[in-house]
Homo-oligomer: A and B are copies of this chain.
Amino acid sequence: MLTPAQVTEHLHAEIPLTRAMQLSVSTWDGTTVTLHAPLAPNQNHADTAFGGSISTAGIMAGFCLLYLLFNDRNISTRILIQKSATEYLRPIDGDFASSASAPPPDKLEEFISTVQRKRRCRIEINSQVTSRHMLAATHTGLFVAMLY
């Protein structure tokens, strides 16, 4: 099982923008993943968090959730995003976090067995972006996982 620091290192090596954002995986408990982003590298012209950074934090929570769910099961997949939608609910004036949780166990096992049987399957993952203990944005991502 990968540690949050190992996943962060992997992201920064593979996706330079996550390094520029100083986005890191802070916790993973087998069900919920949480990422952290400092405000400074993600600021906009209004000194709040930039919409592009917020969307990217939402995308990455969904991506990391799927990456970790498969990794914990020793299944090698490639995960790509097909659709991304963000609603910005309030300005973010501090560091922020994004998190995503696995679907209920029966849905999750169905998804994973479909990927193994058909070599690919799509899934919608919701993530939440919070700052100062308040919900600041929601993200919905449609992802496809493909067996290597």
Q: Tell me the residues in window 54-85 of chain A with beta carbons closer than 8 Å to chain B beta carbons.
A: 55-56, 59-60, 78, 80-85
Question: Once the chains bind, are B88 and A46 in contact (CB under 8 Å)?
Answer: no
Please tell me if A8 contacts chain B, counting CB pairs below 8 Å.
Answer: no
Q: Is the CB of A84 within 8 A of B51?
A: yes
> Which range holds the interface residue count of chain A?
20 to 34
Interface majority SS (helix, strand, loop, mixed), chain A: mixed
Closest B residue to A57 using CB positions:
B52
A15-B55 in contact given A81-B88, A86-B84, A88-B82 (Cβ < 8 Å): no
Establish whether residues B50 and A52, one from each chain, have CB atoms under 8 Å apart when the complex forms.
Answer: no
Interface set, chain A 31-57, CB cutoff 8 A to B? 40-46, 50-53, 55-56
With A82-B87, A83-B88, A86-B84 known to touch, is A52 a contact of B56 (CB < 8 Å)? Answer: yes
Asked if B87 contacts A83 (CB within 8 A), the reply is yes
Contact with B along A12-41 (1 / 0, CB 8 A): 001111101100000000000000000011
New A-B pairs, 8, CB < 8 Å, besides A20-B41, A52-B56? A14-B45, A17-B20, A20-B20, A51-B59, A52-B55, A83-B86, A84-B85, A85-B86
